[in-house]
Amino acid sequence: MKFSRVFGLAVLVAALAVVLTLLAAYGLLSLPPAVPVAARWLALAALAAALAPRRSLTLWIVLSMLVGIELGHDAPAAAIHLKVLSDAFLRLVKTIIAPLVFATLVVGIAGHANLKQVGRMGLKALIYFEVVTTFALFIGLAAINLTKAGKLAPAVLAAAQRANTASEAATLATAAPQTAADIILHIFPENIAKSVAEGQVLQVVIFAIIFAIGLALTPERTRRPMLDFCESLSEVMFKFTNVVMYFAPLGVGGRWPIQ
C-alpha cells in the first residue's frame, strides 16, 4: 500500500512535468526554460524514490532509459560521454555468448542417448529459429521506417558518425569482395580460440556441435568428466548472465542519450 501511494505521487509529478513541458513547447504558457527542465528532473527523482524499495530490474531499466533521454535532451555534449557505460555493458554481454553456447550445445547433444532424436530436434529448432528471426527482421524494419529513430541526432554525434562512416567506407573500399566459397568457408573455424576472441558465434556453434557428437561417441568413462565440466560451465554462465544483467540499467541509460 505504501508503495502504491508513493508511486502514485511520482506518476502525478511526472504527469505535471509533461503538461508543463508541452504547454511551454507550444507557447501556451510563458515559463522560464529552467522550469520545465526542473519539473522533469523532479519527476525522475520522484520515480527513483518510488522504485528504490523495489528489486524489479525491468522498472529500473525503464527509469534509466528515461534519465538517459532527459540527459541527452538537456546536455547532449555531456551525455554523449556516457556511451562508455553502454559499451562496457555490451562487452560484458559479448563475453557470455561463446562459453554459454558451447556449454549448452555440448550438454544438449552429448548428454542425450539418441543422436537421431537430437538431429530431429535440431532440425525443428533450426526451422523455428529461421521463421522467428525473419519475422523479427520484418518487425524491426517496419519500426525503424515508421519511427525514423536516430534522425534527429545531435550535431556533435552527426559529425562523429560522418567521420566513422568515412573511415568505414575507406575500409570497405580496400576490402576484397567475398565469393560464395569464402562465405561457406567462413562458417568453419580454423582456431576455436580465435573464433571466440573475434566473436564468430557461428564458428563456435559448428565447433560445439562436432565436439558434442564426438563426445557422445566416446565411452561413458571418458564422456562423463567432460560432460560434468560442460554442465558446470553452463550453470556458472547462467549465473554470470544474472550478475551482468544487474548492470543493464547503466548500459541502457548510457545508450539512450545518443539515440
In the predicted model, is pLDDT for residue 165 greater than 70? no
- Calculate mean pLDDT across residues 187-191: 88
Domains and CATH numbers, the chain: 55-158+178-258 (1.10.3860.10)
Query: What average pLDDT does the structure give for the chain?
Result: 80
- Predicted local distance difference test score (pLDDT) of residue 26: 78
96-101: average pLDDT: 92
User: Helices 83-110 and 220-245, interaxial angle, to 10°?
Assistant: 160
Least confident interval from 22-36, 101-115, 167-181, 195-209: 167-181
pLDDT given for residue 237 in this prediction: 94
Better pLDDT: 9 or 218: 218
pLDDT at 7: 73
The cell 556516457 sits on which residue?
82
Specify which of 171-175, 221-225, 240-244 reaches the highest per-range mean pLDDT: 240-244
- The mean pLDDT of 33-53, rounded to a whole number, is 83
Q: Rounded to whole angstroms, what are the CA distances from 45 to 48, 50, 64, 81, 241?
A: 5, 9, 11, 22, 29
Which is it for the CA torsion 91, 93, 95, 98, positive or negative?
negative
Output the pLDDT for position 1: 46
Residue percentage of the chain with pLDDT more than 90: 15
So what's the pLDDT on residue 19?
83
Average pLDDT, integer, range 148-176: 56
Q: Is the pLDDT of residue 39 over 60?
A: yes
